Amino acid sequence: MKLSFDRTSQLGSGGFLALKKLWDDLDLSLALSRAGIMKRSGASTWALVFALIAGWFAQKTSVLQTAKWVSTDDVVSKIVGRVSQSAFSRLLTRPFRWDLFNEERLRTLQDRPNCRLTSQDVLAVDDSMILHEHSRKIPFVSKLLDHATKRYVYAQNVVALYAARFQGPSYMINARFWKPGENQLNKWQMALQMLGELVAIAPHVGGCFVAMDSWYLVRPFLLAMEELGFRIVSKAKSNMVFYTLKPGKRATDRGAYERLSAKQVLRQLLGDSYHTIRKIASKKLYIKIEDESTGLAIYKQVQVVAVSGHRSQREETTTRNRAFLLVTGDLSASPEEVLSAYEARWGIETFFREVKQDLAFEACHSTNEHHVEAYLTLQMCAHTLLVLLAEIHNKTIAPEEKLTHGQVIRAFLGTITEIRELANGEVLLQYTPKARYLERTLRILLPTTISLGWFQLIPRSA
């Protein structure tokens, strides 16, 4: 990173120097080239993408705002050079393969020891809506039921796959827009497709738990997941039917399957007073699946875990005094392990909240399909950079001083730096006092690029 300054005193967002170093560590510029996302002239592709992501961190919700902001921020403008609104628009509306760029990002993460997925991690599947009440011409918008308000709205529906890490930073793996239409994939088929692509990139993830809400607990999805080697865990629907195998009167009899409702299973495992106690218990039961090739019903054994009076440490809403059932295809897992895997699903809910609040996730109103898909892919990249930056910072400080991802954006990347060029050609970076507690993190990210200090000098070529 080469910086040169042509004025006596300048102000800029000093934290973006660290963000650029993290960008280089992940080789994201190379990932863009490998994906074939390149321009023949004008501003470099990597510079436009980095400027767009930096603009989201700076709360700029449009390419016009980002272009104006880059021209006024002396640090970012020296990193990326001159950018314009038209350059952003040309890049985002071209039919580039942004899915290949996302694959390169995932491969890079698997090469980093602290980001590599293991069989102890949990993969979470979920979807979220992006409301567009007054923009019917935006791609992938359809009329959907908003379960929060119990009314129909016009929105895009994003199906996402998230890695909830046992140790190390958690990050988004893939996300795609659900496309309305009779010949299009439904949401669980899209999730299955993304899981298959992940296995092709990282074959070692086959033994992971896949946590999902009750909507995805459909029989074909369950069978397909087992073929890929995954262990599913999901909350059972209130009207789900289970079966128990009753032995026949004679040893040679096959026995018969007896039907059980979800409420009956709860009472069997937890007792009649399950609403007032804290308890967890499990039992092996059967679910009925129709064989698509023969049309005959087959009974598949699953483990059903009943939970009551549990207070989740991850979810913000308490489930105390509420009983529910979890279903998993892993017959050997302990009830506590199944519950822990399902709780890890909350990480994908946190992802959607963070990108909507802090990264302008809902601010894309383009009518170009390529632009909308590029925007979604770069949102995942931006969140990955944010997660890694927060992890580096939180490792260096006491637990009570750890920052959330939103606080990282406001306190770290929003840090104002005064830049002065001295008479001897050296450059002085002077951070504001509120950035003092970030000094160690900046030193970790920039150990050889810049000599940091409150009144230390760095050479012009740093």
- Tell the burial category of 5 from Cβ atoms under 10 Å away from its Cβ (0-12, 13-18, 19+): middle
Give the mean model confidence (pLDDT) for residues 197-201. 94
How many angstroms separate the CA atoms of 364 and 61, rounded?
Answer: 8
Least confident of 26-30, 220-224, 259-263, 427-431: 427-431
How many angstroms separate the CA atoms of 225 and 199, rounded?
Answer: 11
pLDDT of residue 275: 62
DSSP-H helix ranges across 309-432:
335-343, 346-358, 369-395, 405-407
pLDDT of residue 321 exceeding 60: no
pLDDT of residue 319: 45
Compute the half-sphere exposure of residue 267: CA atoms within 13 Å on the CB side of its CA: 6
The whole model's pTM is what? 0.87
pLDDT of residue 2 exceeding 60: no
pLDDT of residue 340: 93
Q: Three-state DSSP class for 415?
A: coil
Torsion of CA 398, 399, 402, 405, to 10 degrees: 150
pLDDT band of 249, cuts 50, 70, 90: low
